[in-house]
């Protein structure tokens, strides 16, 4: 099953096929390719799958999808992994 997640465009850079955006997914910001949505503008909401914006949607639809995703706990997949503790194991006192 494929899942597209809504996010709001915070910034756009590049041109034409190489246009990218910084997109806010409910507090998590990722770089997204905008090649499939040349009409996307700053503050628009886009549906994103595997780093590519697939369509522009309105704010109401984005909020509705986010509500469903929160219910399904799918947003956890967007968060960066927790830091790995690389410190050596504690040695017991002698």
Inter-residue contact 9 to 44 (CB < 8 Å): yes
Write the pLDDT tens digit of every residue in 40-81.
999 999 999 999 999 999 999 999 988 887 777 766 677 677
**HSE value, Cβ hemisphere, 13 Å, CA-based, for 60:** 0
pTM (2 decimals)?
0.72
CATH number of this structure's domain 5-78: 2.30.30.140
Find, among 72, 71, 73, 51, the residue nearest to 7 by Cα. Answer: 51
pLDDT score recorded for residue 30: 97
pLDDT score recorded for residue 3: 82
């Amino acid at each position: 099953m494929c899942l597209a997640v809504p996010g709001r465009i915070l910034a756009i850079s590049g041109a034409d096929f190489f246009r990218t955006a910084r997109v806010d997914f409910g507090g998590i910001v990722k770089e997204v390719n905008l090649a499939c949505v040349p009409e996307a503008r700053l503050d628009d909401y886009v549906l994103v799958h595997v780093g590519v914006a697939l369509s522009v949607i309105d704010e109401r639809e984005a909020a509705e999808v986010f509500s469903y995703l929160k219910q399904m706990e799918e947003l956890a997949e967007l968060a960066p992994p927790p830091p790995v503790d690389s410190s050596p194991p504690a040695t017991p006192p002698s």
